[in-house]
Amino acid sequence: MTRALDGPIDTAIVEQASEWLMLHWGGEMDADQRQAFTTWQHAHPEHRRAWQRLQQLQETFGAVPAGFARAVLRDSPDPQRRAALKMLGLLLVAGGSGYLLQNQVSWRSTFAEHRTATGEIRHMTLSDGTRLDLNSNTAVDLRFTAQERRIRLLSGEILLNSGHDPVRPLIVETASGDVQALGTRFSVREMDDGARVELYEGRLRISPRHGTTAHMNAGDSLWFSATGTGPRQLANPDDSSWSQGRLVAERQPLGRFLAELARYRPGWIRCDEAASQLLLTGVFPLDNTDSVLAALERTLPVHVESVTRYWVTVKRRA
């Protein structure tokens, strides 16, 4: 069933739609850009819905002189440009009349106590000695009281080395339920359909909101939703390499690798089907995704096409 026009829209799609609006405001797009925009619109129904919502705001934007808008979006320094895009994104996210009631978590993420931008990784030491690493595009709230240490993961992914406190339990709160540390090192990642937990040291207790409690031991990986847990798997230590600013691939299908790389780069990365199953091994820096894409062309039979920096397609060479 098609979602209502004023329903919640994923923040990544908000960012993409804002970039396309910037290109429209910047002047006439060339043929490749127009084709890429059409492809983006038809890639997912949510893309078309996001663009429709922008059209609803045209009356507001129409009050802004075209020359002024182009100067802000095309000619201004990066901080001003990012601020303009952020403003558009917020308008797009909050544009639906019922949005705040329907998706309070996304709104809370925007104004979270601690958050990272796309491509940013942050390291923090909390008051109890806990080491907290925030992955790209992550938002958390901290609620430390005399009874407990609670970290609300609103979006994205975190890695923790828990500090010792015999009185107050350390709890990570997700949309699907709570993850309680029992002296441990672990990561939690919010996903569309639940949360993924990787346990590297110690033990954890998983408490789905409406399901049976489960326990994890070191070396376990577990997905859970509000109603229960999935099958137990082996944790992969390479999955936490983002905290050192690296992305590690070991005979990983290229399509999966690019889906991970896209988390650290604004815009859209597509991989055609012919290239998606090529196997990739290597260690790649997350602070320069352009260099990673260039390295793919040197190590695999692929070609990277960039209509703009925000629209990249990786194709297999003939």
In angstroms, the Cα distances linking 294 to 80, 289, 298, 303 are: 29, 9, 7, 9
What pLDDT is attached to residue 138?
93
Residue 264's H or E segment, with its range, is none
The arithmetic mean of pLDDT across residues 287-296, rounded, is 94
Domain check: are 224 and 249 in the same one? Answer: no
Ranking 64-68, 97-101, 129-133, 271-275 by mean pLDDT, the lowest is: 97-101
The arithmetic mean of pLDDT across residues 149-155, rounded, is 94
Which structural domain, as residue segments, surrounds residue 103? 11-110
> Is 221 a residue whose pLDDT tops 80?
yes
* Rg value, the chain, Cα: 21
pLDDT in tens, 94-124: 554 343 334 444 556 666 789 998 899 999 9
Residue 32's H or E segment, with its range, is helix 31-43
Domain check: are 205 and 285 in the same one? Answer: no
Domain check: are 55 and 145 in the same one? Answer: no
> Is 131 a residue whose pLDDT tops 60?
yes
- What gap in Å lies between CA 146 and CA 38, rounded to an integer? 54
Tell me if 205 sits within 8 A of 221, measured CB to CB: no
CATH code of the domain covering residue 222: 2.60.120.1440
Residue 65's H or E segment, with its range, is none
What pLDDT is attached to residue 1?
39
Tell me if 95 sits within 8 A of 103, measured CB to CB: no
pLDDT in tens, 9-54: 777 777 777 778 777 765 667 888 888 889 998 988 888 888 887 7
What pLDDT is attached to residue 91?
56
Domain check: are 205 and 103 in the same one? Answer: no
Instruction: At 30, list the tokens.
Output: 């060339």
- Determine how many CB atoms are found less than 10 A away from the CB of residue 127: 9
Domain check: are 104 and 154 in the same one? Answer: no
The arithmetic mean of pLDDT across residues 141-165, rounded, is 93
Domain tally, the chain: 3
Phi, psi of 129, deg, nearest 5: 95, -5
Amino acid at 233: Q
Length of the chain: 318
Instruction: At 315, list the tokens.
Output: 């194709």
Is residue 28 in some structural domain? yes
What pLDDT is attached to residue 73?
46
- What gap in Å lies between CA 1 and CA 16, rounded to an integer? 24
Domain end position, chosen among 237, 254, 278: 237
Domain end position, chosen among 237, 255, 289: 237
Domain check: are 262 and 229 in the same one? Answer: no
Domain check: are 231 and 258 in the same one? Answer: no
> Number of C-alpha atoms within 13 angstroms, CB side, residue 159?
17
Q: Is beta strand 131-134 parallel, antiparallel or unpaired with respect to 157-161? A: antiparallel
What pLDDT is attached to residue 51?
83
Higher local confidence (pLDDT), 182 or 128: 128
pLDDT in tens, 158-201: 999 998 888 999 999 999 999 999 878 999 999 988 999 999 99
Is residue 3 in some structural domain? no
Is residue 91 in some structural domain? yes
- What gap in Å lies between CA 312 and CA 306, rounded to an integer? 5
* Beta-bridge mates of residue 203: 217
Domain check: are 46 and 144 in the same one? Answer: no
